[in-house]
Amino acid sequence: MRIAAALAGTLVLLAACDGLTHDASADRPAGARAFPRADRPVAPIVSTRWSSEEARDRVNEADDIMDRAGIRPGMTVADIGAGEGYYTVRLARRVGVHGRVLAEDIMPEVIEALSRRITREKWDNVSVKLGAAEDPRLPDNSFDRILMVHMYHEIAEPYAFLWNLSPALKKDGELIVVDADRPTAQHGTPPRLLACELAAMGFRMVQLIPKPTAGGYLARFRRSTARPDPASIVPCAMRD
């Protein structure tokens, strides 16, 4: 009887431990649980816009960023975290009728509003897509450029997100990140932290350009190695 009681007690403890282990990842999407968490704060999404479109155009923000990113007519470009579509429509104008723009966001209401804008303004070379916190859900080998403007610090699962994003770039494609040089908790990403997290996913920074008119800097990345096995990823231990 004592042995049976002890065994029963052990099974209860093991079940409790298993429950604790499960609960530790219950707040994460199933597709992210094979990847490490970011070892730094993730900024909450507080707005669908960084600044007004009029203010941004006064300092020629979009044209300057697109010039620096090498975006030309005929290209296929993804606008990740598209929000209200400031870059989406300007990218559409730049790539022209022979190019394509895919606007992605993770908020259904944002995608719905952007879809209405695209239809209203008759941007026939633009499509919109609902992504997820751990996966932008982009088609493989499709994009010359992928833009992430003032949103990297809001990615809740950066390692899973970047791992899933990587195959979407064409062989010579580039990932373009625009952000502020301040801690992620203050809605920015220090360039060293950005370079470290992307390097963990097989990306190499090829250029870092100060861009005060865009609120910080522009960083260009290319794939340099294959995607790592998720279990081998070591999160960057850099603190804000």
Predicted local distance difference test score (pLDDT) of residue 7: 41
* 113: containing domain: 52-226
Arithmetic mean of pLDDT, 11-21: 43
Query: In the beta sheet, which residues pair with residue 78?
Result: 102, 146
Judging by DSSP bridges, how do beta strands 169-179 and 203-211 pair with one another?
Answer: unpaired
| Structural domain includes residue 147 | yes
Q: Would the pLDDT of 106 be above 70?
A: yes
Domain assignment of residue 152, yes or no:
yes
- Of residues 157 and 50, which shows the higher confidence score? 157
Please report whether residue 172 resides in a domain: yes
Between 102 and 212, residue with greater pLDDT: 102
pLDDT at 98 over 50: yes
CA distance 189 to 150: 9
Tell me whether residue 37 is in a domain.
Answer: no
Query: What does the mean pLDDT of the chain come to?
Result: 88
Q: Is there a domain that residue 33 lies in?
A: no
Residue 41 lies in a domain: no
Looking only at the bridges linking them, the beta strands covering 143-149 and 216-223 are unpaired
Q: Which residues pair with 127 in a beta bridge?
A: 102
- Name the pLDDT band for 64 (thresholds 50, 70, 90): very high
Q: Could you report the per-residue pLDDT of 183-222, keeping only the tens digit for each?
A: 999 999 999 999 999 999 999 999 999 998 888 999 999 9
What CATH number did the domain enclosing 61 receive?
A: 3.40.50.150
Query: Residue 238 half-sphere exposure, CB side, CA atoms within 13 Å?
Result: 13
Please report whether residue 127 resides in a domain. yes
Average pLDDT over residues 42-53: 72
Residue 108 inside a domain? The answer is yes
Q: What confidence score (pLDDT) does residue 19 get?
A: 45
pLDDT at 174 over 90: yes
What total number of domains does the chain contain?
1
The pLDDT score that the predictor gives to residue 48 is 53
pTM as predicted: 0.86
Mind listing the pLDDT tens digit for each residue in 111-166?
999 999 999 999 999 999 999 999 999 999 999 999 999 999 999 999 999 999 99
